[in-house]
Structure formats: structure tokens, C-alpha cells
Amino acid sequence: MARLEIRGIEFAFGAQRILHGVTLDVSDGECVALLGPSGCGKTTTLRAVAGFVTPTAGDIRVGGRSVLALPPYKRNLGLVFQDFALFPHMTVAENVGYGLRMRGVAREAERAAVADKLRLVRLAGMDGRYPAELSGGQRQRVALARALVIEPYILLLDEPLAALDRKLRDQMQVELKRIQREAGITTIIVTHDQEEALSLADRVAVMFDGRIAEVGAPGSLYQSPRSLGVMDFLGGANLFRGTVMRVDAGLAEVACSEGFALRVSGGEVHLGTEVTVGIRPEHVEILAASAGGTPNTASGKVVEHVYKGAHIDVYLEIGGTVRIASVPAQWTAEHGLPEIGTTLRIAFPARHLVMLDSAT
Amino acid sequence: MPKSDRLYAVTLGGLAWTGVAFLVFPVLFTTVVSFNGGIFIQFPPESFSLRWYENIAKIHRIGPSLAVSFGIALVAGAAATLIGVAAALALVRHRLPFKAGITAFLLSPVTIPIVAIGIALIQFFILIGIEFTWYSVVIGHLVLVIAYPVRTLVASLTLSNPSFEEAAASLGATPWRTFLTVTLPQMKPGLISGFLFAFLISFDNYPISIFLLRGDLTTLPIELFNHISQNLDPTPAAFSTLYMCVVAALIAVAEQRYRIISLSLSH
Amino acid sequence: MTAGVPGRARKRAPRWLIALALAAPALVFLVVFYVVPLGYMVAESLHPWRGDGGDERIVSIEQYGKVAKGGRTVRAFERTVRIAAIATAASFVVSYPIALLLLGAGRRLRTSLLLVVFVSLASSLLVRNYGWLVTLSDTGPLNRLFITLGIVDAPVRMVYSEGAIIVALVHYTMPFMILPVFASLLRIPASYTEAAQSLGAGPFRALAGIVLPLSIPGIFGGTLLTFAICMSAFVTPLMLGSPSTSMISQVAAEQFLVQLNFPFGSAVIVSLTTATFAIVAAYTLAVRRVFRAQV
């Protein structure tokens, strides 16, 4: 295994520029997710690392050495494809051992390594089966074993769970995480599914339009992102535009266009600047009707509520715009379902408010 | 490019382009030879002349044979396409028992020796006392060429979406109108390429015609073949060149408007 | 039309009846003018020939005996199988690289090449064979090239030989090989070859271990069709061969058109058809067994 350095790679397909200078460092043994909407360039970045795409500028270094001049079959990387790409005319054992055969490993050693990896992915005893006889989850694991058995420098996963159904996906997420930890291998996962990225990775890199917008640990990226795009993409977001009226001991008071004031931590801003403030729906609080007009509160009229199982999304019209408050199902058990048309007092606790850089 | 990639590209390219040259050169040579001023097949030509193109008109019975071949091909092609449409509908859209067997049966005339068709029919016509006329040749050609529209139309229908027909029915269209306005347009690539191939194969056919022609009746391939056996001049080269131009133009237009090539690759 | 009220239900003919009615013209036509005549031809092969002094009313297999013993016929059979096998193998070798080229080609090159292949497919057999008469002629381009290069002093006689037949058959059957193989190659997901490459297989090893095995359905279809076409060859040996290179279809035709020996001619054709089917069946079984029923 090794560390990966992606340095300002660019790529254009004909007249269309796909990557605009992507830079990312992945430490030895770390698992990083490339997350973004379709068309953001995450798969292109992965394929550039794998060697199927040649960047028009920039460098890719594995273990300190540039790999750009190397064809895919000389880079020693493990690739798991979205459709698994298991060779239909070979058994599971022959599939997993393919990379070893390409490296001229002796038959006995190959058999031992294959058996070992099949055990790792919990498919021991399936050697003689053909891919057509396996379920989706099993094929996934064979693809993983095949990529891991060659002891690659880096493991690259392209939408690894996209082909699986919901229940299987949850199970495989846990499996995948375990296998990655046990193998201790540097890993990059490409996904459009934020839940997958947040649950599997040590760090998440969010990409928009061929650039990395922000990189961070799942927790901090979710709770306090710096960029507007990331806040909006990861989970729901309530966004307020306003002007900074006062800065006082690290707390900025922002006058929102809807007519109320929000106190946000974010001491670097100057008076009079236009800012965007965000808060996640699950952090919005619904207060008792009697609550007064303290800072960071507003009135909202209920226009809709949507039952989501573990929680309920309440759509509130606040100052002309609809916002969402997510309340746990437990809350409605105690307070009853908010009726459409009623007006409620809403609170936006300062500790959950995030000042966002609207340029990203 | 890495070394093994380059070696692969060069090897593959070399072999492949040699193959393409092999495919194309005989026609190119024929074209060059057709402009020869001398009276033999000569490469390179000794002079430039269009006389052999004029001489096409002097091929024995060129006029009648051309008309006969064209007529037979038109009728056989049209009949094969019509019959093929009905058969394809039955095979793909309706529940027909023994579907695989019937399909194999309809396509089988292409796999048996061509002369068998001619030989079998000549005996059969004698047995039941049918006269050997223009129509008997059409029948013989039709046996062979039915397979082509059937194949392309089945492919076309299989690719098209039955939901369109269901949508039309839900909007009030009778089966006949659905067929005319929804199904048939979707079958265009199959129709065009099926008819085209049935026509061209019939037009060019020698092995069936040779058995079924009598008396005054003659077709273009027969006359052309006779000319080739009896003369050494490049007139057939001129004819070939013209013929290839026409076929190439037809295929190019059919492909551009109806995408017949991707149809043949789909199954 | 009144909205919202379904029309009165009408008794519709059962689906299978409609299907049968639609398929009937094709089926009836082929039964009358294809199956029956072929059957009659088989029957015709089962009795002696009037021209030998035999009684045409008795049933006997003596014609097949004549086929098996007749030196000329047996030689023609051997020659036909040999030519068909060589031509099929050669056609495959020439066509597979072209199919691979098509696979890797950009859109414009691919379309142009496919057009070339398709036009070949649609072209007249006579025209294509004539092209070889020209190319292989004593005064044609190949001989001209040999003489210019100093390989020979005088033109080499290439036409009217078995070699010329084989070359022309390979040329004729190339589209029948290229298209199914290419279709098969198209169906291999790109991720398979990329997976092989990511595991360390260079382009040659990926071709041998992944692409070739997975294109077997196309190879099988192409070779089968090519072989059947070559076995039945008639016009090609007629134009490019000589009496000493006769193929079976020619022998049969001669019996009908020249000797007017219908029983023997029928027996010859039935034997050809049977032999072709037998070889095809054996080939299919062999391929199925070796490649685990991929075809």
C-alpha cells in the first residue's frame, strides 16, 4: 500500500472540459470517498488514477513516484467496477487468481492466496462456482477479493454498492468497511450516494463541476461545512441570505431578508457583507406557542408535513419562503402532528448555524 | 504509448488493414481495368477509353435480360417483404406455437445448397406440369429470398417497443390502425434492408435461374456469365463498376436514413 | 364518441389463430414450393435411371451407391470439403483482426468500414468473382507486380485453379464472418477488458484470455455460415475453376442440365446436404462440449 497524490489534474473530452485541476492527497491506509452529483468528474478522476484516462495536465503519484507514464496493467492498483466485471467464463477461483496468474505466481501460491482472500470476504468454499450462479452481494465480494489478492498499492471502487438493492447495500456497507480496515489498504471510493460516502470513508471529498469543493471528515463536513454547495448537497439545508449588522465577541448578527435576525459564530466577517447562513432541518426546533421573540427565532406557517418513517418533515412558510424542519417521530407522539395552516414558533439554535462561503 | 500497447496497435492494424485491402482491391482493379483502351484485361491499362462502357449495350440480349431480372427482382422482393411482415408479426408479437422451429424453418433456404432449390423445383414443375415462364423463376427466387426480410423484420420488431402499440390501443386505435401508424413505421429499417437484400440477391441470382429458364427467357447474370466465358474484353469490368456504384449508393442512402447496419448487428 | 364508457366487447379470434393466419402465407408457400419439391427430389434419388436401362418404378438406393463408388463424385466431395474447410479457416483469420479494428475504431472510421463491409455483402457474386478474374489474370495486377519485382519472368497462371476458388470464397464470405464476430465483440462490456488490464494483463493477454473466449458465440456463428456457403459453392468454382476442380454443386448441376440424369443428380445433392448438416452438427456439439454451452 502507499499514499496517493493527485496534483492538479485536468482533462478535456473534445471541447468539453471535465476536470479543472483536481488536487487530493490520500494517506497510506486511508479511505477517501469522492462524492458528487453525476457529471461532476469523480469517475473520470478515478479512471485517471487507474490509467484509463490520461490527464491533459497535472500529475498522479503513488508512493511518491509518478504513474502517468504507466499503462493500467503496470500500475498495480486494485479496481472494483460498478458492474463487478467478473469474467463469465472463469470460476470464482480463476477470477480471483487472474491477477496472480498475470504476475506469474506459482500455482500453489495462487491457490493459497485465493483461498485466503475468499475467507476474508466470507466466501470460502465458493471456488468452483461461476459468476452466473452467484447473487449480487456475492459477486461484489468476489470482485473485491480479486482486486485485493494482488496486494495493490491502492484500492479503487467505482460506485461499489450501486448495483445492490437497499437491504443488501446496508449489509455490504458494513462488510466493505470491515474488509477495508482489515486489509489496511489505501482506498478511494467513488459514489453519488452521500450516505455511502459518510458511512464508509475516513474523509470525504465533495466534487462539483470537475473540482473538489471541500474535503473533510464525515462528521465535520456534515455538521459544519464551509461551502454552500456542500451544505446543500449533503443532507437537506435551510439557507438564509442576509447582511452582517454587528460583530460582537466572535458572534455575528445577520439581518435576514425574511425580516428576523440570526446570531452565528463566524468572527472573520466584516460589517455589511452579504452572507449565507445554513442550518440542517433536523436542528430546527419547534417551540411552544407561547415562546417569545428571542434572537434566532421566527414564526412559520405549516404548509405540509411528510411522513418519512423515523422522522417527519414539516414544511413551514417563513417570511415568504418554505423551509423544512425535521422532527423525530417521537416529537409528534408527544406534541401531536402540526396541523396545516397553524402558525408555529421556530428556533434556529446558534450552535447549529453555519456561515457558508457562497463562492463554492 | 507504452511499448506493448504500440506493438499491439501496429500488429492489429497491419493485419486488419491488409484484410481490408484484400476486401477492396479486386473492385478497385476492376474499375481501373474498365477504362482500358486495349481489348484485353490489362493492368496497368495501356490507354484511357470509355469504349467498354459503351459496349455494355452490345452485350448479347442485354436489354431484355436487364428488364427480366429487374422485374423478377422487384416482384420477388416485394412479395418476400409482404410475406415477411406478416410472418414477423406472427413470430414476435403474437403467440405462435413452435416459434423457434418455425423461425429456423423460414430461414433454412439460405443454409441448404442453392442448387438444391433449383434442382428440386425443376423436377417439381415438370411433375405438376407448370410451364417454365417468368413466374416460375419468381417462385424459385422467392423461396430463396424470403429468408432475408424475415430475418431483418424479426430483428426490427424485436427491437421496437410493444408499449407503443399498447399506448395506441389505449388511446382508441384499432389493431389495423395501430399496425399502420405505430408498428409499421418502427419496422422501417427491417423493411428497407429486407427488401433491398431480397431484391439484390434475386437480381444477381445465377444458380436458381439457370435451372428454371427456358426458351427465350434470360436474365442478366446469365447473359453476363456467358459474355465472360466467351469474351476476354473488359466489358464486364465496365458493367461491374457501374453496378458497384449503384449498390454502394443504395446502401449508403439506406444506412443514412434507416440505420440498416446497426439493425444487422443487434442480434 | 361517448367518453368514459367502454365499447361493447366483441368476440376476438384467439391469439394463436391470428398468429397462424399471419404466418400462413410464408409457411404455405414454403411447404408447397420448398418442402414438397425437396421431398420429391429425395424420392427421385431413390430409384434407377431410365438412361442406364433401369426401371424407374422400383425403389432402390443404387444411386447412393454410385455416389459412394463413383471416382469423380468422391473426389469432388473430398475437394469440396477441403476447399470449404481451408476457406473457412482463412476467412476467419482475415476477418477477426478487421472485427477487432472495428471495435477499437472511432465513430467515423467504424461507420466507413462497416459501409464497405455491407456493400460487399450486398454486391453481386458475379461481380466479386469477376474482380478476382481480373486480379489473378495473366495480364492483371498481381502478375504485373510479380514480374516487376523480378519474382518470376513470365506470368503465373493463377485463375481456373483450386487456389483461385479458395481466394474468391474467402473474399465472398468475409462479410458473413466479420459482422457476427463484430456483433459478439460489441456485447463484451468494456469493463471486462479494463478489469483484466487493471489486474496486469497487457493488450495481447487481454485479447487471448478475455476477448477471444467471450467472442466465441460470434465466431461460431460466422464460421458455421461460412462453411455452409462454401460447401454449396456453385458460381464461384464455375467462374474461377476448371473441370478438374469441380465442386459437388457443379457435379449435380451437370447431371441435371447435361446428362439429364435426374435420379443420380438428386442423390448427389441430397448427399451434399446431408454431409453438410452432419459436419455442422458435429461442429456444434464439439464447440458446445469444449466451451461449456456458450453457444
pLDDT tens-digit profile, chain B (267 residues):
567 789 999 999 999 999 999 999 999 999 999 998 888 887 788 888 888 888 888 888 999 999 999 999 999 999 999 999 999 999 998 878 888 899 999 999 988 999 999 999 999 999 998 888 899 999 999 999 999 999 999 999 998 888 888 899 888 888 888 899 889 988 999 999 999 999 999 999 999 999 999 888 999 999 999 999 998 889 999 999 999 999 999 999 999 999 888 888 876
Q: What is the pLDDT of residue C8?
A: 55
Sort out which chain C residues have CB atoms less than 8 A from A146's CB and list them.
195, 199
All 3 cell numbers of residue B88? Answer: 414477423
Sort out which chain A residues have CB atoms less than 8 A from B8's CB and list them.
none
**Domains of chain A and any CATH numbers:** 4-224 (3.40.50.300), 233-356 (2.40.50.100)
Whether A98 has its CB under 8 Å from any CB of chain C: the answer is: yes
Distance from the Cα of A51 to chain C's closest Cα (Å) equals 8
Per residue in A188-233, pLDDT tens?
999 999 889 999 999 999 999 999 999 999 999 998 888 888 988 8
Sort out which chain C residues have CB atoms less than 8 A from A74's CB and list them.
200
Sort out which chain B residues have CB atoms less than 8 A from A69's CB and list them.
2
Sort out which chain B residues have CB atoms less than 8 A from C16's CB and list them.
94-97
Sort out which chain C residues have CB atoms less than 8 A from B30's CB and list them.
127, 130-131, 134
All 3 cell numbers of residue A354? Answer: 453555519
CB contact under 8 A, C273 and B112: yes
Whether B150 has its CB under 8 Å from any CB of chain C: the answer is: yes
Q: Are B221 and B114 spatial neighbours (Cβ–Cβ below 8 Å)?
A: no
Which residue of C38, C173, C194 to mutate against B (max B Cβ within 10 Å)? Answer: C38
Which residue of C107, C191, C198, C207 to mutate against A (max A Cβ within 10 Å)? Answer: C198
Q: How far apart are the first and last CA of chain A?
A: 33
Give the start-to-end residue ranges of the domains of chain B: 1-25, 61-264
Per residue in A332-357, pLDDT tens?
888 888 888 888 888 888 888 888 87
Sheet holding A251-256, edge to edge: A261-265, A251-256, A238-248, A274-279, A354-356
Report chain B residues touching chain A, CB-CB < 8 A: 2, 4-5
Q: Are A42 and A35 spatial neighbours (Cβ–Cβ below 8 Å)?
A: yes
Q: Could you say which of A52, A88, A99 has the minimum Cβ distance to residue C200?
A: A99
Segment 191-210 of chain C within 8 Å of chain B by CB = 202-204, 207
Q: What is the pLDDT of residue A1?
A: 55
Q: Which chains neighbour A (Cβ–Cβ under 8 Å, 3 or more pairs)?
A: B, C
Fold of B61-264: MetI-like fold (1.10.3720)
**Which of the four pLDDT bands, split at 50, 70 and 90, describes residue A293?**
low
Which residue of B31, B102, B111, B243 to mutate against C (max C Cβ within 10 Å)? Answer: B111
Q: Are B224 and B163 spatial neighbours (Cβ–Cβ below 8 Å)?
A: no
Q: Are A117 and A143 spatial neighbours (Cβ–Cβ below 8 Å)?
A: no
Q: What is the pLDDT of residue B232?
A: 86
CB contact under 8 A, C195 and A72: no
Cβ pairs A/B, distance under 8 A: 6
Q: What is the pLDDT of residue A242?
A: 86
Q: What is the pLDDT of residue B154?
A: 93
Number of domains into which chain C is organized: 1
Distance from the Cα of B239 to chain C's closest Cα (Å) equals 9
CB contact under 8 A, C131 and B30: yes
Whether B59 has its CB under 8 Å from any CB of chain C: the answer is: no
Q: Could you say which of A73, A89, A147 has the minimum Cβ distance to residue C197?
A: A73
Whether A68 has its CB under 8 Å from any CB of chain B: the answer is: no
Query: So what's the ipTM on this one?
Result: 0.91
Q: For residue C2, is pLDDT > 60? A: no
**Which of the four pLDDT bands, split at 50, 70 and 90, describes residue C126?**
very high
Nearest C-alpha in A relative to B6: A71
Mean pLDDT of C239-256: 93
Whether C239 has its CB under 8 Å from any CB of chain B: the answer is: yes
Segment 18-37 of chain B within 8 Å of chain C by CB = 19-20, 22-27, 29-30, 33
Q: For residue C51, is pLDDT > 50? A: yes
Nearest C-alpha in B relative to C38: B120
Nearest C-alpha in A relative to B3: A71
Whether A267 has its CB under 8 Å from any CB of chain B: the answer is: no
Q: Show contacts of B26-30: CB within 8 Å, 24+ apart.
A: B26/C128, B26/C131, B26/C132, B26/C134, B26/C135, B26/C171, B27/B240, B27/B244, B27/C127, B27/C128, B27/C131, B29/C131, B29/C134, B29/C135, B29/C140, B29/C141, B30/B237, B30/B240, B30/B241, B30/C127, B30/C130, B30/C131, B30/C134
CB contact under 8 A, A70 and B4: no
Segment 100-119 of chain C within 8 Å of chain B by CB = 100-101, 104, 111, 113-119
Q: What is the pLDDT of residue C295?
A: 47
CB contact under 8 A, C213 and A89: yes
The one-letter amino acid at A226: R
Q: How far apart are CA B218 and CA B198, in angstroms?
A: 19
Q: Three-class SS of residue A304?
A: strand
Sort out which chain B residues have CB atoms less than 8 A from C3's CB and list them.
none
Sheet holding A16-26, edge to edge: A16-26, A4-13, A57-62, A65-66
Q: How far is CA A285 from the centre of its chain?
A: 27
Sort out which chain A residues have CB atoms less than 8 A from C189's CB and list them.
83, 85
Q: How far apart are CA B94 and CA C17, in angstroms?
A: 9
Q: Which chains neighbour C (Cβ–Cβ under 8 Å, 3 or more pairs)?
A: A, B
Whether B17 has its CB under 8 Å from any CB of chain C: the answer is: yes
Q: Could you say which of C26, C128, C183 has the minimum Cβ distance to residue B83?
A: C26
CB contact under 8 A, C189 and A77: no
Q: What is the pLDDT of residue B120?
A: 93
- Identify the CATH number of the domain in which residue C82 sits: 1.10.3720.10
Distance from the Cα of C95 to chain A's closest Cα (Å) equals 24
CB contact under 8 A, B4 and A71: yes
All 3 cell numbers of residue C71? Answer: 471416382
All 3 cell numbers of residue C292? Answer: 461449456
- Helical H segments across chain A, by residue range: 42-50, 92-96, 98-102, 107-120, 136-148, 166-183, 194-200, 218-223, 228-233, 329-335
Choose between C9 and A317: higher pLDDT: A317
Whether C40 has its CB under 8 Å from any CB of chain B: the answer is: yes
Q: How far is CA A258 from the centre of its chain?
A: 32
**Which of the four pLDDT bands, split at 50, 70 and 90, describes residue C177?**
very high
Partners of A324 in the β-ladder? A315
Cβ pairs A/C, distance under 8 A: 65
Nearest C-alpha in A relative to B2: A71
Q: Are C244 and C79 spatial neighbours (Cβ–Cβ below 8 Å)?
A: no
**Residue with grid cell 442423390, as numbered in its chain:** C267
Name the least confident of A19-33, B166-180, C174-188. B166-180
Q: How far apart are CA A152 and CA A135, in angstroms?
A: 26
- Residue C36 domain-assigned? no
Partners of A248 in the β-ladder? A251
Whether A72 has its CB under 8 Å from any CB of chain C: the answer is: yes
Sort out which chain B residues have CB atoms less than 8 A from C202's CB and list them.
4-5, 8
Q: What is the pLDDT of residue C124?
A: 93
Choose between A260 and B208: higher pLDDT: B208
Whether A54 has its CB under 8 Å from any CB of chain C: the answer is: no
Nearest C-alpha in B relative to A74: B2
Cβ pairs B/C, distance under 8 A: 269
Q: For residue C207, is pLDDT > 80? A: yes
Segment 55-84 of chain C within 8 Å of chain B by CB = none
Sort out which chain B residues have CB atoms less than 8 A from C265's CB and list them.
119
**Which of the four pLDDT bands, split at 50, 70 and 90, describes residue A295?**
confident
CB contact under 8 A, C201 and A98: yes
Whether C151 has its CB under 8 Å from any CB of chain B: the answer is: no
Per residue in A96-135, pLDDT tens?
999 999 999 999 999 999 999 999 999 999 999 999 999 9
- Residue C212 domain-assigned? yes
Q: Three-class SS of residue A214?
A: strand
